[in-house]
Amino acid sequence: MNTKLLLLAAAAALATACSHEKTAEVATTPDVTTTTTTTTTVDTTAYRSSADALADRVAADLHMNDEVTKSKLRTVYYGRGRALRDADLRYANDTTGRYAAIRDANDAATRNVRTALANDGLYNTYTSGQSSYYDGPYTAVAVTEQPAAAARPSLNARVGQGSGVKKLENQADGDKKTKFENGAKIKRNDDGSIKIREADGTKIKVDENGHRTVHKPLFGRH
């Protein structure tokens, strides 16, 4: 009887020891956590394509085939595209800030286009069509008016030198003569040729083909 009790007690003790060992093993097993990192890369292809398309359209509008200048325009518009994207991200919840940032990006593009074109006439044409090139606000650029070329004085004004006409003659053969108060004369022939005697005695002949001959007096007017 005592032997059976001892065996039962030994078995119970062994089972309890095994249970503790398993519990210890489970408790000491470290947790393994797997971390996945996702890297977002900005796709520049879309910005390049948009910049190239706009540069080609501007070049066509300006009737410009210079590849060097077109390349400069592509760079300008690529930078503008990136700046507009940054404005959208930075001021997603700030309408006023986004408006100002977009305007600044467009205005910077306009300044850079002027540098790239290096031609006031082309730049004026460009700025007159800004609304078709830009999305969003921008500062309108006043078109610089090109000064008109000064009108060349008429032949009568140059020869008469402001002295006034003294006499006009219309001859029967179609020739016309004009005499001025300063002593100068102009004779226009019906074949288109012209003879001029200036106030200082210089004689000028222009034939019907536009060939010009000038004779200066040796000792002043005679």
> Do 51 and 125 belong together in one domain?
yes
Closest-CA residue to 212 (of 198, 201, 200, 196)? 196
- Within-domain flag for 70: yes
Q: What is the DSSP string of 82-115?
A: HHHHHHHHHTTT-HHHHHHHHHHHHHHHHHHHHH
Split at pLDDT 50, 70, 90, the class of 193 is confident
> Do 53 and 106 belong together in one domain?
yes
DSSP secondary-structure letter at 183? S
Q: Is the pTM of this model over 0.85?
A: no
- Within-domain flag for 203: yes
> Do 49 and 128 belong together in one domain?
yes
Residues 6+ apart with CB under 8 A from 158: none
> Do 73 and 123 belong together in one domain?
yes
* pLDDT at residue number 12: 53
Q: What is the total count of domains within the chain?
A: 2
> If 0-12 CB within 10 Å is exposed, 13-18 middle and 19+ buried, where does residue 57 land?
middle
Q: What is the pLDDT of residues 181-192, one digit of tens each?
A: 788 888 888 788
Say whether pLDDT at 199 is over 70.
Answer: yes
* pLDDT at residue number 117: 92
- Within-domain flag for 10: no
Residue 192's domain spans which residues? 155-215
> Do 114 and 58 belong together in one domain?
yes
- Within-domain flag for 164: yes
Say whether pLDDT at 74 is over 50.
Answer: yes
- Within-domain flag for 143: no
Residue length, the chain?
A: 222
DSSP secondary-structure letter at 220? B
Split at pLDDT 50, 70, 90, the class of 9 is low
* pLDDT at residue number 27: 45
CATH number at residue 179: 2.60.450.20
> Do 56 and 115 belong together in one domain?
yes
- Within-domain flag for 84: yes
> Do 118 and 165 belong together in one domain?
no
With residue 53 as reference, give the H or E element that holds it. helix 45-61
Q: Where are the alpha helices (DSSP H) in 1-44?
A: 2-28
* CA pair distance 3, 111, nearest whole angstrom: 106
Q: What is the pLDDT of residues 31-49, one digit of tens each?
A: 544 444 443 345 678 888 9
Q: What is the pLDDT of residues 132-157, one digit of tens each?
A: 888 888 888 765 555 555 556 666 66
> Do 55 and 114 belong together in one domain?
yes
Average pLDDT of the residues of the chain: 76
> Do 113 and 189 belong together in one domain?
no
Please give the residue that has the higher pLDDT: either 72 or 41.
Answer: 72
Q: What is the pLDDT of residues 89-127, one digit of tens each?
A: 999 999 999 999 999 999 999 999 999 999 988 898 888
Query: In this structure, how many other beta carbons lie within 10 angstroms of the beta carbon of residue 98?
Result: 19
> Do 128 and 160 belong together in one domain?
no
* pLDDT at residue number 188: 85
- Within-domain flag for 178: yes
> Do 128 and 50 belong together in one domain?
yes
> Do 113 and 172 belong together in one domain?
no
DSSP secondary-structure letter at 42? -
- Within-domain flag for 28: no
DSSP secondary-structure letter at 135? S
